[in-house]
Structure formats: structure tokens, C-alpha cells
Structure 1
Amino acid sequence: MASISSLGIGSGLDLNGLLDQLYVAERSKLEPIGQQIESQQVKISAYGELKGALSAFHDATQALNENALYQSLSTSISGDAVQAAADGEASPGRYDVSVDTLATAGSIATQRVDGLDTVLTEADSELNLTFADAELNQRVTIEAGSTLQDVRDAINADPQAAVNASVINDGSGYRLALMSKQSGSDATLLATDFAEMASDATLTDVTIAQAGQNATFSVNGISIESATNQVDDAIQGVVLDLQSTGQSSLLVEEDTQPAREGIDSFITAYNELKSTAGRLTAFNGEEGQAGELIGDSTVRIIESRLRSDLGNELGGEEGYQRLDELGISLSVDGRLELDEQKLDAALAESPAAVGAFFLGADEADGLAGRLDATLSQLLDEDGALESAVSGAENRIESLGDRYQLMEQRIDTTIARYQTQFGQLDAMLAQMNQTSAYLTQQLGMLDAQMGGGMSGQ
């Protein structure tokens, strides 16, 4: 509000100062509304913090609802003959692997050509590639005027040619080297008609061929043959990568570490949620400070539903039925406490039984599935948390309307005061003028009366 500098000139009163004081007094009526708006904004921020902690617990809960978590296997190997990896279909056990030969790819080096610029074909022709497995046989089109490098490029550009081609200098000339893309005896390249195709060039020496071979090895004394060194069907659920000839022992064991880490994350996430809720609803009597959500019903609803899910039995007939049977219990302050030895013993005895407790028969009716359903409802757009945020936003909007209306009323009131003060200033100015006139007239009258008396 801008002060009117002319106020008070006529009366001599500090009407501008008085009007400013009235303006401040009227504006103070807005403070309670502003404080309420700020309170609701703080609540929305607190709800966001609570939602973050709730979402983190939801993520940890969903991780416990994964079947693979309780079927993890680890492999340990002694010896350099093989490397291995196991999946959920593998069976724990010891496997002795003896590698006799590794799978290799066959190759052929063609007859020697004197120079790289030697033209091999004057007309379009074909290079026939013949394999041990006739299904791999292929004819590669070679254009007229092709050199050895052109033949190489044509072979490599043909997606159906089951070889990789290169040019090798053997010290006396150049050869086309063809290596089978696949290892094993069936993928061996037996022959080419390179000499017939390159009939326009002078070729020397002979074709050099090296046959491909299968890998031969044994697992626990059982002989196995494979066209490749990566074998995924010798031991169910185990991929063997043959590295060298020799002996290796493979030990496949149940790995409880992923399940243990998942449960630890679950406990940590819940306790952090509990700490966040506790801080937001706490009251510090010594400092007189209250949490942003103290007494908030939404927090009570969330805590009550989660406490119910965590504390109730599953209701099954077999296996674990309560968290405390796994060494996880609710403490007096509502946090989860862990008996590490009890949990480790349960995982060591039967990871599947621990998994059944969290997963349930159909990955929906275990503890993790039950919590997942509850948390999904709480975090849903129509859930308790979003409803609370929407309620706070609606109150802010309503309070904003009240604030605006109150400002308009204050401006109207101050405008009325200003008009009245202007009228008062004018009236007092007129009264001052009248008073001065009367004082002047009375002075003159007094002077006249005094002069007359002295003449007598």
C-alpha cells in the first residue's frame, strides 16, 4: 500500500503513519491463513519423503518375491581344463571332467598365386566349397577380373559361406586361406575347386588342408563328444567351457548369499521406513518441536497395515508360518530385528523352504506377495498416501482462495480508511481555518474595545 503524502497537511496530524499502522494490522489477519498454507505444503513434502521410504520397501519386498533368489547355485573349479556356470536347473554335486581333445575348426590353404594383382578369372565363375556336412556346401559367385583379394572379399560377403577367408603370404607367394566358421569334424571344409576357378592364372604348390575335430571329454567317467568347446547339454543346468586338455573337478553348490542379501535389504528398507515415519510423527517436548505428520491418520493406517502383514501367520499347513521362525521379529519400537544365526541356519537347511515362506505356492500368497499387494494399494493413485496428498493440495487451494478474498477485503478497508482520513483532514483543516479567523476577529474586537475605553 502506497502512503498518500498529502494526508495530514490540512490537519497537521500524522495520518499517513496512522494509515500505515492500520494497513499492517489488517495484513496480520492473513498470517494465520499463510501459516496454514505453509503447514499443508510441509505436509505434502513429508508425504513425499514417506512415499520414497515406502517405495524403497516395496522394491525390497518385490525382490523377495522372485523364485530365482532361492535357487541360486555357485560353482567352484579346481584345475584349468574347464570353466563352468550353473543355472537354476542344475543339481548340486561334484563332477570330474577329463578333456582329451578340444574342438577345432578345419581349414584349407589353396594353391599359391605369385602376386596380389594377378587376375584369376576373365569371366564370371563360381568357387565351390565342399564340407563334411553336405548341408554346408556353397557356391560363391566370383566376378570376372577378380584377384586373390577380390575372391577373399566375395567369400566373406556371402552370408551362406560357412568359412572366413583371408590372404596369407607364405614367403614364396600368396594363398587363399579358408577357415570353417564352426568347429568340429562335420564342419570341416574338405575341398574347393580353386584351381578350376582360377584357370587363367599360374598356380603352384598344392592345397594344404587341416581337418576340424570334435572335442572329446568325459564327465564322471562317461565319454562325451561335442562339435564345440562350449557344451550346455552334458550336465543339466551347467554350461561347460572346455579350455585345455587335462583334468578338472567341478563342484556345484547351493548359494544362499543372494537370498540372505535380499532378506537383509528387506529388513533394512522396513527399518528405514519405520525411522522415517517415526521422525515425521515425533514430538520433542524439550524443544517444543513437532514432526510434520504428528497425529496424521495416514501414517497410522500405513503402519497398522504393515504391522499386521508382518506379524500374522501365513495360515499354511507346512513350512515356516511366521517371520520369527526365521529369526526375524518385531521389536517393541516396531522395528525388525534379526537373529543372524537362526536365519543362516534356516537358509543352510533348506533355501527352498525359506523361499516358500516368502513366495507362497503361486508366488502371490507368501509373505512377500501379501506385502506386495498391501504396498501396491498404499502407493496406488487412489491409495491412502495419494489421497492424503490430494487432500492437502485441496486445502491449499481453498486456503489460497480465502487468502485472496481476505486481501481484497483488506484493500477495500484501507481504501475506506484513506477516504475517511481525507475527509477528516479536510474537516480539521476547515476547523483550523475557522478557529484562526475567529481568533483574529476576537483579537481585533479586543483591540477596539481597549482603544475606546482609553479615550473616555
Structure 2
Amino acid sequence: MATISSLGLGSGLDVESIITKLMTVEQQPINQINTRTTGLKTKLSTYGQIQSSLSTLRDAASKLTNPDTWAGTKATASDSTAISVTASSGAAIGSATLSVSQLAASQTLASTTFSSSTATVGQGSLTIELGTWGTDVDGASTFTAKSGATAVTINIGPGQDQLSQVRDQINAAGAGVTASIVTDATGSRLTLTSRNSGESNAFRVTVADADGNAGDAAGLSQLAYDPSTSVSQMSLTLPAANARAILNGLPISSESNSLSSAIDGLNIILLKTIPPTQPVMLNVTQDADAIKKAITDFTTAYNAVNQLLRSQTKVDTSKLTANMSTDDVASLQAARAASLQGDSAALGIQNRLRGIAGGVTSLGGSLTRLADVGLAPGSDGNLPTAGAKLDKALTKLDDLKQFFMGVDSTNDSNSGFAVRIRSMVDQALSVDGTVTSRQKGIQSQIDSNNKSVESLSDRAASTEARLRAQYAALDTKMSQLSSLSNYLTQQITQLNK
């Protein structure tokens, strides 16, 4: 076949221009289908956005139909500097009084003063044992080992006997105490504090001193503490103690300042002592703030769906722009760009949502329509997200609960608003629902268009090849005729001489 550049040389015709124009005509159906496919892909993408937006709305509606949302409680204390209180599931609505005579504390010991943190203490072994201090009938100190706890022995050998090294070995031993060094102008002291507060987490320290004398104030014996044997070189700076309180007139004791089981569903943290003459009031109420947030999340999700559908189903108003200013015309561009203009499925979803928002229910007592809770749809179809009416409705939580999550088994259209919205969205997003079916239909059209383009492209390629072959043959024939014409002209010229 002749090359593109050689076509037309024999005939003098602009063959390339002719073929290009003919192929432009052949390409028109392909271009039209591609344009339609682009529009379909835009629609499919928009339906993906609708699906996502509806899923968010369904989740928000489901939260309002979940009994746990309405069963949430909030706990407060009349003096938050004395008591910190939080409520969890199971907390009963009500109140309680609390006074605190003693906070829980961890036992703390302090050694005598050393010259520095690198001062040598001594070698030997330390044994730390958790338990409870008490007194016998004669007033002498007694120690009862903690049930389930094991005494821990720490060996202090050569090169390990500086004060800071002893501290580090105690902390690494897992003996239930924390060692620290406190340094001031007088020198450095080792402090030992039980990791957990409470009387049963007190501890004693017995020493096996390498110098052979575990009862003197030299060597490792300086860290001994056992009042039950009268061997105590360390000083008690803070005794282990249980928290002691009066809750609703009942005495309670706790090893920690966190009372997590005193009242079901409440975690109470004691921050300071409270005199019995001025008890702190604990109040547990229904958590209206959490319910308000759930309602606000619901209206926000509803508005997102409404705005998306509204923007994508706008009617094309291009015919109205003839006498408009440039600014007015620009304001209508979004309408022209709407990808779901006239889409019956999208319009159907929009209308069903608006129908529910404009409906009523008899299950919410005095609350019958969205306007009663300050959520009346505006001119754009959006619901307000806050207002005085909603705050007032939150004082009628039983009615408000039924308003959103009540179920009428005989009349679905009378069920609560969140129930109806969730049901409608469930249908739209189901396997055979409006959105899913529309997505499948659009994808089917795209697939069909792609096959048509493939077929038409093959046909166009065949047409171009055929045209080039035909014009190549014409070019050859025209070249032959031109040569014959030239020959005849030469012969006639010779005859006329």
C-alpha cells in the first residue's frame, strides 16, 4: 500500500483531506457514545456519593433507634474539687451523699542522708515483703504478709552498692515498691514507696548485711525497716492507709481512692477529705447532652443527603438566561452541571425523605411533628441543627424518645421519625433497592456503550483501510491515464510537424 504522503501524487487529488473528512463522519457515532458514557460515569459517581451519604444517615438514624442512646446517664458532683465521678452503663438515675474522713495512701520510707547519689551504701541482700502492719494486745508492731504476694530478695554485690545503683536494682526487681532519690542541700536520701495504696500494700525491708551486723546503722543495714523486730534505720514518712468514707450513711473502706464498685455504674475518685457536716452530693441524670448530639448528628446527616440530591437533580434553567446579567447566568451554572436532572430514582429518594420530614407521629405525646422539636424543614429542605425548641424538647426525654424511635406495628407511617428514615434508607441501599438497582442499570449502560464503541472503532478502522486501498488504486489508474495522455499528446505533436 502506498504511504500516506504518496497518496494523490498520481491523481492530483488531496486524498488525505478526503479520507480525514470521511473518517470524521465515521467517528461521530463513537464520539456521541463516548459523550453519553462520560455522562453515565458522572451519574454513577454521583450515585456513589448518594450511597455513602445515605449510609451515614442510616447510621445516625440507627443511633436514635438504639435504646442505649436513650439509657445513657451523666454523673455530677456538687464539689468537683473533692470528687470526680463518671457514669457508665448500668448507672441508675438518682443521688447519693458522700463524706470522706481519710484518703488512701501508699507507705513511704526515707533513709538517712548520704553525701550524694553515688555514695556507697554497702553489700548484702535486701528482702522486700508486702503486707499489713498492725499491733498486738500489748501495742507492739506486727506484720502480716499479704496473701498471694511473694517476698523479693535483691542481692547487692561488688560494683552495685552505690545509692543510685541500689535504687535501680530495687526498681528492676518488681517487688511492689518504687525507689527514688531525693537530693537537697543536706545530701541525698533514698525513698521507697509502695506502688499501690492501701493498708495491705504496706511493706517491710529486711537486710542481710555483708558486714555481719544487720541491726546497726552502717552498711546495707541503713535500708532496713521492720518495726516488728525493732530493726528500722529507715523512717516512716507516710503510713499505708485505706480510704474511709460514708456513702449514704454507710461506712466504706477502699485500698485506693477510686471507688469503682461502691455504686453500680459509677466510678468515684476521691480527691480530698470531706467533712460529714458538708457531704458532697452525687447526682446521676439521663445524659441529655449525648442525646442532643445524636439528634444533631442525625440532622447533619439528613441535610448532607438533602443538599446532595438537591444540587444533583436541579432542572436545567439555561432557557431562562437570555435576558439575565452575567452574574445571574453564572449563578445558574451549577444547575446546568447537575448530573441527575430528571433522574426518577434520585427524585424518588428526595421525595420520600421530604415526605417523612413533613409527616407526623402520635407516639411522642405532645411532640407530633419535626416542628415541635425545632427541626422543621426550611425552604431548602434542610433541618435546623439546634434551637430553643429542641432544648425544651430535651426536657421531655420519654416523649422525645418515642418521637424518634417509637414503633407502630399496625401503621408504619406513624412510627418514630428515625425509625422511618432508617427503614427508607435500608430499602434504598438493599440489594434490590433504588440506589443499588440504579447503579447496576447505569453500569450496564456503560458496559453496553463500551462494546458499541469497540465495534464501531473496528468498523471505522476497516472503512479507513478500504478507502485508502480504493484511493491507492484510483491514484495508480489516474497516473497510468496521465502517462497515456502525455504519450498521445507527444505523438500528435510529431504528426503535425
TM-score by length of 2: 0.72
Aligned residue identity for 1:402: S
Three-state SS of the structure 2 residue aligned to 1:294 is coil
Give the structure 2 partner of residue 401 of structure 1.
451
- Mapping of residues 226-305 of structure 1, within 5 Å: 226-246=254-274, 247=278, 249-250=280-281, 252=283, 253-286=285-318, 289=336, 291-305=338-352
CA distance in 2, matches of 1:203, 1:59: 72
Deviations 1:158-179 (A, max 9, x none): 44x3433456789999876443
CA distance in 1, matches of 2:98, 2:404: 37
Three-state SS of the structure 2 residue aligned to 1:63 is helix
Give the structure 2 partner of residue 358 of structure 1.
404
Q: Confirm or deny: 8 A CA contact 1:358 1:368 kept in the other structure.
A: yes
Q: Confirm or deny: 8 A CA contact 1:329 1:338 kept in the other structure.
A: no
Whether 2:206 is the aligned partner of 1:193: answer yes
Whether 2:216 is the aligned partner of 1:203: answer yes
Moved more, 242-251 or 108-117: 108-117
CA distance in 2, matches of 1:171, 1:434: 125
CA distance in 1, matches of 2:193, 2:364: 63
Give the structure 2 partner of residue 107 of structure 1.
108
CA distance in 2, matches of 1:269, 1:372: 12
Deviation at 1:277, TM superposition (A): 0.9
Q: Confirm or deny: 8 A CA contact 1:74 1:86 kept in the other structure.
A: yes
CA distance in 2, matches of 1:5, 1:176: 98
Give the structure 2 partner of residue 80 of structure 1.
81
Deviation at 1:402, TM superposition (A): 1.5
CA distance in 2, matches of 1:330, 1:174: 72
Give the structure 1 partner of residue 155 of structure 2.
143
Alignment CA distance shift 1:339-1:85 (3 Å)? closer
Deviation at 1:15, TM superposition (A): 2.8
Deviation at 1:292, TM superposition (A): 1.0
% identity of equivalent residues? 30
CA distance in 2, matches of 1:196, 1:357: 77
Q: Confirm or deny: 8 A CA contact 1:130 1:192 kept in the other structure.
A: no
Give the structure 2 partner of residue 452 of structure 1.
none
Three-state SS of the structure 2 residue aligned to 1:85 is strand
Deviations 1:166-195 (A, max 9, x none): 567899998764433332334333x44336
CA distance in 2, matches of 1:306, 1:5: 64
Alignment CA distance shift 1:17-1:162 (3 Å)? closer
Three-state SS of the structure 2 residue aligned to 1:276 is helix
Give the structure 2 partner of residue 430 of structure 1.
480
Give the structure 1 partner of residue 18 of structure 2.
18
Deviation at 1:16, TM superposition (A): 3.0
Alignment CA distance shift 1:196-1:13 (3 Å)? closer
Moved more, 267-276 or 289-298: 289-298
Aligned residue identity for 1:179: T
Q: Confirm or deny: 8 A CA contact 2:130 2:200 kept in the other structure.
A: no
Aligned residue identity for 1:134: A
Q: Confirm or deny: 8 A CA contact 1:80 1:248 kept in the other structure.
A: no
Q: Provide the alpha-carbon RMSD of the alignment.
A: 4.1
Q: Confirm or deny: 8 A CA contact 1:94 1:249 kept in the other structure.
A: no
Question: Gapped runs of 5+ residues in structure 2?
Answer: 134-143, 223-231, 321-335, 408-414
Give the structure 1 partner of residue 244 of structure 2.
216
Deviations 1:371-412 (A, max 9, x none): 335434433565432332333233222212221221222222
Three-state SS of the structure 2 residue aligned to 1:272 is helix
Deviation at 1:31, TM superposition (A): 1.8
Question: Gapped runs of 5+ residues in structure 1?
Answer: 448-456
Whether 2:70 is the aligned partner of 1:38: answer no
Give the structure 1 partner of residue 59 of structure 2.
59
Between structure 1 and structure 2, the one with the greater Rg is 1
Q: Confirm or deny: 8 A CA contact 2:363 2:402 kept in the other structure.
A: no
Deviations 1:279-329 (A, max 9, x none): 211123235836211222331343355456556666869796654554444
Give the structure 2 partner of residue 451 of structure 1.
none
CA distance in 2, matches of 1:5, 1:374: 65
- Mapping of residues 84-99 of structure 1, within 5 Å: 84-90=85-91, 97-99=98-100
Alignment CA distance shift 1:280-1:445 (3 Å)? same
CA distance in 1, matches of 2:273, 2:213: 46
Q: Confirm or deny: 8 A CA contact 1:95 1:220 kept in the other structure.
A: yes
- Mapping of residues 321-400 of structure 1, within 5 Å: 323=370, 325-329=372-376, 334-336=381-383, 340-349=387-396, 351-360=397-406, 367-380=417-430, 383-400=433-450
Q: Confirm or deny: 8 A CA contact 2:73 2:91 kept in the other structure.
A: no
Moved more, 409-418 or 386-395: 386-395
Moved more, 264-273 or 172-181: 172-181
Alignment CA distance shift 1:13-1:183 (3 Å)? closer
Alignment CA distance shift 1:334-1:277 (3 Å)? same
Three-state SS of the structure 2 residue aligned to 1:33 is helix
Q: Confirm or deny: 8 A CA contact 2:74 2:286 kept in the other structure.
A: yes
Three-state SS of the structure 2 residue aligned to 1:73 is strand
CA distance in 2, matches of 1:220, 1:280: 61
- Mapping of residues 127-142 of structure 1, within 5 Å: 128-132=129-133, 134-136=145-147, 138-142=150-154
CA distance in 1, matches of 2:16, 2:190: 105
Alignment CA distance shift 1:30-1:80 (3 Å)? closer
CA distance in 2, matches of 1:339, 1:381: 35
Aligned residue identity for 1:418: R
Q: Confirm or deny: 8 A CA contact 1:127 1:194 kept in the other structure.
A: no
Alignment CA distance shift 1:382-1:197 (3 Å)? farther
CA distance in 2, matches of 1:390, 1:96: 63
Alignment CA distance shift 1:130-1:441 (3 Å)? closer
Give the structure 1 partner of residue 140 of structure 2.
none
Aligned residue identity for 2:105: T
Deviations 1:78-137 (A, max 9, x none): 47333333345445566554433322222345789999545443xx78555553453356
Give the structure 1 partner of residue 331 of structure 2.
none
Deviation at 1:197, TM superposition (A): 8.9
Deviations 1:45-70 (A, max 9, x none): 22223223223323322333444443
Deviations 1:25-48 (A, max 9, x none): 222232212212212122122222
Q: Confirm or deny: 8 A CA contact 2:364 2:403 kept in the other structure.
A: no
